[in-house]
Amino acid sequence: MTPKSKQVFKRIREMVEGETLVTFLLVESASLRKKADGSDYLALRLKDRTGSIEAKIWDEVNRYRELRAGDIVKVEAEVRSFRGKPDLSIRRLRLLEDRDREEGFDEKWLEEWTEFVIEDLWARLSQFVDRIESPPIRHLVQAVLSAKEETLKRSPAAKQVHHPYFGGLLEHTVWLVDDCIRLLDNYKFLDHDLVIAGAILHDIGKTEELGGERVTDYTVDGRLVGHIVLGRDILRRHAALIPDFPGDALRHLEHLILSHQGEREWGSPVLPSTPEALFVHLVDNLDAKMQMVQQAVRRTPEGQPFSEYHATLGRQFYLVRRSVPEPGRDEQRG
């Protein structure tokens, strides 16, 4: 018997206006809305590992009222354009079934992960911890990472803004610490132990702020408390378990976490008021923004001189140099 050939499904980035296709997508959101005549239609936001796309179900809406964020669906749809962006008009839709897995579908086809090897990132982070000379500070960082290892290896750094994919928080943390260490020789007056520890722990609260098996969303504590205060609380809990942990060091590390976003309008309850806190904030901001730029460049089709408008950064980027290194190929940062 001849084995069934594996179906090839298009990703969002490959979709072309005017074509009709069948593919698997992940439901990011679903909401009922009203047509001009007062009848209902269903507005969806669907995603895969290459991006997200708006979609509409115009008819037989009652069949799909139970769709929820996190559902995996198989759709037949026509690719249209709405306000200059691709948009799907769905003809048929059903939830993922066991037979789809039996025929070769894998949920990882939809999940967006860091393009670096998680265990390599973790090993690199462990090497950074070993650079901390103060035993109490080193033990504190080790204790926090040990408690948060599983979550940190999976967590995104954000829902949308920067590193918004599984493993993104670990990737961002490693590159931030790497950048800090590269610059510290130029600023010898800074306390190296506090900078390294603060850089490692600055976003640790995001392991409790963000959750979700397939679609990232805020936890209850994430919405009501936020990652900055959650991170400070994680730090305090673990410091309390270390006998005679130095109070000045704890206060400084708390300040590094509380001030790392730099401005009150950006969410920091306090401004960076030590040299180390200002340094960590500036390098954190650099890595976050350059990752946004990198993603904008990678999403730009060949031949276009400008990237699409980046809402967070408030500009387009002129692509003087079109050659962008392939993910994971940077030997210096691996």
Report how far apart, in Å, the C-alpha atoms of 94 and of each of 8, 28, 40, 74 are.
18, 15, 19, 5
Nearest CA-CA partner of 151 in 212, 195, 105, 239: 212
Architecture of domain 12-109: Beta Barrel (2.40)
pLDDT at 155: 93
Architecture of domain 118-299: Orthogonal Bundle (1.10)
112-132 tens-digit pLDDT: 888 899 999 999 999 999 999
Phi, psi angles (nearest 5°) of residue 210:
-110, 145
Please list the residue range(s) of the chain that carry CATH number 1.10.3210: 118-299
Name the pTM for this structure: 0.79
Degrees (nearest 5) of the Cα angle 231, 233, 234? 65
Phi, psi angles (nearest 5°) of residue 180:
-60, -45
Phi, psi angles (nearest 5°) of residue 266:
-95, 0
Q: Report the alpha-carbon distance of residue 22 to residue 267 in Å, rounded.
A: 42
Q: Which amino acid is at 138?
A: R
Torsion of CA 147, 151, 154, 156, to 10 degrees: -110
The DSSP bridge partners found for residue 44 are: 30, 55
Cβ atoms of 163 and 156 within 8 Å: the answer is yes
Q: Which amino acid is at 72?
A: I
pLDDT at 8: 60
Where are the strands (E) in 177-266, listed by range? 210-211, 217-218
HEC profile for 34-100?
Answer: ECCCCCEEEEEEEEECCEEEEEEECCCHHHHCCCCCCCEEEEEEEEEEECCEEEEEEEEEEECCHHH
Given a cut of 50, the residues of the chain with pLDDT beneath it are: 1-6, 329-334
Please list the residue range(s) of the chain that carry CATH number 2.40.50.140: 12-109
